[in-house]
Structure 1
């Protein structure tokens, strides 16, 4: 690789190669953002699993990506159903009411937007909006995505545990072979809040899903 390669707004000077794992085989999981046929075919050929983040859901592209991933696996001879080999990622915030959850998590959502928007990892942002975000005089009054829109689109789970369970159950019905989701919090969320929220998710949401996930071989 030549030195000083322009990459996402800066010059990439070094890359780190991860040593081959001692214990094989291991599962490989890779984020899916653009979902080009060539990339999906490569993943299917090598049985690389896909992670779809909430940004894709917000952009309304989730169905297209899930179908394309299934088709790529089938082309590679890995007969798959919708959702198989995928994990859907969501930001979330549990509270007694959805309104209060949105109010509390809104500021964290905005910080996350500042971080990942310029990297073009938020599909809800247009190129014009990304340019506006870099201008302090325009950003405060610009029509940028808000957490309310992310919640409505299904990319951000906010509200009482029962509501979050209901939303995830609908996802389960929509993609029958899906057996994994990942949950996290936006950049800038205080560690104490993350701990409290994950504990609550484990106790009040996860028990509603009793499916068994096969144990994977750990990398060494």
Structure 2
């Protein structure tokens, strides 16, 4: 696995971290440490966090990790064989959405949030390629709290790329990335603090 601690010469022009068949851009921190701290606390307090659900081998389980799903409309989103209905935006999420849209020049209509209480909670290999999502659409990922490793693996060649996601940082996955690459948040015993992750997404409009 190639471990990346990578910034381009200009923070405004990050380079593609993937060697082929996809595009992942890491902008690093896109706000001050104080602002990142402020949003971390606001998200902890204002998001309607619920233990996430998944169906594994036909059995419904509740994860320690918590999640929340927000959007412009009451979008339905099914992953891990469980369907969520989007909640209306709150003010901190709208503020972060506007900031990310200004940086990227992309309009998002939904956001999936995850709360990892410590390093023992992670996410297995997967792609964000559900039918409800815009195909080859942009996904913008904001991280708050503990620094965690994030990894990519090519579906055919099994080549891997990994980097550390900093507090207040922005990572973007776009184009054909979800078709050819898996990604995960590996568990670790080295991290004891919580991490909040927001992934702004583009849902296909119902009807």
* TMscore range, shorter length: under 0.3
Query: When you count helix as a share of all residues, which structure comes out higher?
Result: 1
**Which structure: larger Rg?**
1
Query: When you count strand as a share of all residues, which structure comes out higher?
Result: 2
**Could you state the TM-score of these two structures normalised by the residue count of structure 1?**
0.27
